């Protein structure tokens, strides 16, 4: 009777060796992204090397790196199916960033056919502690390719003349005349591709010494004062323009042409290296600046009477340093 009671007890029926279950989600080696109808197949390492500010735009709800989380987002659970992650981001901008980072990596680390700059400067890691601080090997500028990432999100607001036909209805919906003015204003801004013009105008208006120093530091570290945005486009169905510029950081490590015996001498500009190290403050710590910019733009087209429109632009700059 006791034996029967023991065998029917729920306690004694529990296995002493529970079945092993794999609760870890399967990590994805590649992500298939759908950017507004255009698909990209990108490996995980490439995604992780992208600037944090760009990743936040690509994945505002968090980065997906496991099959379990992708399946939850798409509602599918078949591991053999190709998972697609929809991303609301300009595909041409994404292609520009991927291409720049890939070329920068190939130049620094080399390819199967061509040695990179890193091979020629490896001996710098054996430098004395006084050269680069406590330990040269701990200076990421010697072992990684550094890229300055500068982004601008520009929202513009057009204020049409009172005597014109442009306006809104009782529901606040813009009529066709106002929409046309907005389109012309967007085109006008798109044509102004110089990176530093707006910020320099703000510096002169407010006499902001700190911002002037920022421009000077960026122009010493890879940018030129007359540089233009590498990518610039109007967001669909929005009065918003997104721009991004990428440049290689001038670290002060100078690779000279190959000598007669094939050697590639490398020298160091220590003042430039010191300037470059200041930008390490922005490594995975994007800095943002927001300001309003007031302009008056001429949106007149051929055969029309002169039409000037007051335009307000809200600019948000993001500065970041990436190490590949």
255-312 tens-digit pLDDT: 888 767 766 788 889 899 999 999 999 998 899 999 999 988 888 888 888 888 899 9
| Predicted pLDDT of residue 193 | 94
The answer to the question of residue 98 being in a domain is no
| Predicted pLDDT of residue 110 | 87
Cβ–Cβ < 8 Å for 220, 192: no
138-178 tens-digit pLDDT: 788 888 999 999 999 999 999 887 777 777 777 778 888 88
| Predicted pLDDT of residue 68 | 52
Residue 36 binned pLDDT confidence (cut-offs 50, 70, 90):
very high
Radius of gyration of the chain (CA): 28
Domain of residue 273 covers 146-323
Give percent above pLDDT 70 in the chain.
Answer: 81
Cβ–Cβ < 8 Å for 249, 276: yes
The answer to the question of residue 9 being in a domain is no
For residue 75, is pLDDT > 50?
Answer: no
The mean pLDDT of the chain is: 83
Most confident stretch, 70-84, 152-166, 194-208:
194-208
For residue 69, is pLDDT > 80?
Answer: no
| 3-state SS, one letter per residue, for 271-285 | HHHHHHHHHHHHECC
Taking residues 308-323, what's their average pLDDT? 94
Q: Where do runs of H (alpha helix) occur along 123-229?
A: 129-132, 140-143, 176-190, 197-206, 209-221
The answer to the question of residue 60 being in a domain is no
| Predicted pLDDT of residue 322 | 95
The answer to the question of residue 244 being in a domain is yes
Residue the block writes with tokens 């870890």: 24
The answer to the question of residue 124 being in a domain is no
Residue 231 binned pLDDT confidence (cut-offs 50, 70, 90):
very high
| Predicted pLDDT of residue 67 | 62
Residue 24 binned pLDDT confidence (cut-offs 50, 70, 90):
low
The answer to the question of residue 283 being in a domain is yes
Residue 244 binned pLDDT confidence (cut-offs 50, 70, 90):
very high
Taking residues 19-23, what's their average pLDDT? 52
Comparison of pLDDT for 126 and 194, the residue scoring more: 194
Residue 221 binned pLDDT confidence (cut-offs 50, 70, 90):
very high
| Predicted pLDDT of residue 5 | 53
The answer to the question of residue 113 being in a domain is no
Total structural domains in the chain?
A: 1
The answer to the question of residue 1 being in a domain is no
**Dihedral angle over CA of 172, 185, 157, 166, nearest 10:** -30
Cβ–Cβ < 8 Å for 227, 197: no
């Amino acid at each position: 009777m006791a034996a029967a009671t023991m065998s029917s007890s729920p306690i004694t029926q529990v296995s002493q060796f529970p079945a092993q279950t794999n609760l870890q989600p399967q990590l994805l080696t590649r992500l298939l992204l759908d950017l507004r109808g255009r698909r990209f197949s990108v490996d995980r390492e490439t995604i992780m090397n992208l600037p944090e500010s760009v990743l936040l735009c690509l994945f505002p709800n968090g980065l997906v790196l496991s099959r379990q989380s992708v399946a939850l987002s798409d509602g599918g659970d078949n591991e053999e199916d190709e998972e697609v992650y929809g991303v609301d981001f300009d595909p041409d901008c994404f292609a520009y960033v991927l291409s720049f980072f890939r070329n920068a990596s190939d130049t620094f680390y080399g390819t199967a056919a061509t040695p990179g700059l890193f091979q020629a400067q490896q001996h710098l890691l054996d430098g004395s502690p006084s050269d680069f601080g406590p330990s040269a090997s701990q200076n990421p500028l010697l072992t990684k390719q550094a890229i300055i990432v500068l982004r601008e999100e520009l929202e513009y607001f057009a204020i049409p003349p009172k005597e014109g036909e442009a306006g809104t209805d009782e529901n606040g919906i813009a009529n066709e005349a106002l929409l046309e003015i907005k389109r012309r204003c967007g085109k006008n801004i798109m044509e102004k591709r110089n990176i530093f013009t707006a910020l320099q105008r703000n510096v002169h208006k407010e006499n902001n010494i700190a911002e002037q120093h920022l421009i000077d530091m960026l122009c010493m570290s890879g940018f030129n004062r007359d540089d233009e945005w590498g990518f610039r486009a109007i967001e669909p169905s929005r009065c918003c323009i997104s721009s991004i510029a990428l440049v290689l950081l001038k670290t002060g490590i100078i690779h000279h042409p190959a000598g007669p015996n094939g050697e590639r001498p490398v020298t160091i500009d220590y003042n430039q290296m010191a300037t470059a190290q200041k930008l390490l403050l922005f490594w995975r710590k994007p800095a943002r600046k927001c300001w309003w910019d007031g302009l008056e733009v001429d949106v007149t087209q051929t055969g029309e009477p002169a039409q000037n429109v007051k335009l307000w632009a809200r600019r948000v700059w993001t500065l970041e340093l990436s190490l590949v």
